[in-house]
Amino acid sequence: MSITALPPALWSALAWPLAKLLLAMAASLLLALFIESLNWTHGMSRLAAPLIRLGHMSEVTGASFSVSFFSGLAANTMLSEAYDQGKIDKRELVLANLFNSLPTYFLHLPTLFSLTAPLIQGAAFTYVGLTLAAAFLRTAIILALSRILLPPTTGGPVAVSSMKRKKVDWRGALTKAQGRFSRKMRRIVIFTVPIYTIIFLLNRSGVFDTLQSLITARITWFDPRLISIVLFHVAAESTAGMAAAGALLHTGSLGAREIILALLVGNVLASPMRTIRHQFPYYAGIFRPRLAAELLLVSQIFRVGAVIVLGVGYWWLTR
């Protein structure tokens, strides 16, 4: 069956979103290869030089961190290319991927706040502030671990600064990038398409909904009104949880403190499932499935752990 012969429902739910994802990945891959071909990684890494120097990280990690403020896909592609070429080892790859979580958070911060503020009003500042503090906390921990686990770089804050940075014109850089693009993109398609399709079918069959129901069914120590916020946050998108929280807040059924704690619990419970649904397919295309699973697992441990620490701290201080 050709793509054009697909049923409209399947086209809109599977084929079109997958096509858009592959186009985004292709654009990000070409951008990352183009930047590397022009030898811009050195200049871009200077934007994060103090942090990179503190964490004993390489030039590639610094460039990837800077690119993360604009495109997480392009940043991950840069790390994947550097790892495949032996410019960074697996230890630095894991740390660099974790390190990029801060700019990735800032990339989504305006959207998060614009959705949260109208629904829960003043409580949005506290909730968003706590998630922001969690992002800074895990970044500080990652920098500390990086400084301990990675050897000090020689000759400055970058580990690949000894590479020749001969001047390359735009046409030459584009030609070089295109040559590597087809090989890399072929691998991305081979892994991403079947994994994305499997995740889609599992989602359609209700597997994720069943797992989420099992998780939320265990929350018996919560106020029943708070469970509705958690359920909506986990079972649907975070906006649904925000809407439920806003309704309870506006009617005076719950206070801001309870609303914030419920949203944090929903955030923690929903995060792993959404990672499998939305991130694993394209991560598997960029890094290969096994490495992608390892990166996402470590990332979730740090992310969820930081939110739990800040949530417990907030609960303790506001008792």
Which helix H or strand E contains 99, and what residues bound it? helix 90-99
**What's the pTM value of the predicted model, to 2 decimals?**
0.73
Q: Does the residue 6 lie in any domain?
A: no
What CA–CA distance (Å, rounded) separates 51 from 47? 9
pLDDT of 296 above 80: yes
* Statement: residue 94 has pLDDT above 80: yes
1 located within any domain: no
Does residue 3 sit within a domain? no
> Rounded to 10 degrees, what is the CA torsion of 186, 187, 188, 191?
120
CA-CA distance, 129 to 164, in Å (whole number)?
43
Please state, in angstroms and as integers, the Cα–Cα distance from residue 31 to each residue in 66, 171, 199, 257, following that order.
14, 14, 27, 44
Least confident residue range of 96-100, 187-191, 249-253 = 249-253
Total domains in the chain come to: 1
Reported confidence tier of residue 179, pLDDT bands at 50, 70, 90: low
What's the rounded Cα separation, in Å, for the pair 288 and 310? 33
Q: Does residue 164 lie within any of the structural domains?
A: no
The 3-class secondary structure across 261-285, one letter per residue, is HHHHHHHHHHHHHHHHHHHHHHHHH
Confidence at residue 253, expressed as pLDDT on a 0 to 100 scale: 66
Residue 212 pLDDT grade (very low, low, confident, very high; cuts 50, 70, 90): low
Q: Which residue carries 């008792």 as its tokens? A: 319
- 241: in domain: yes
Residue 78: domain span: 11-159+169-317
Tell me whether residue 108 is in a domain.
yes
Q: Does the pLDDT of residue 180 top 90, yes or no?
A: no
Q: Decide if 4 is inside a domain.
A: no
The pair of three-digit structure tokens given for residue 77, joined into one six-digit string:
């592609």
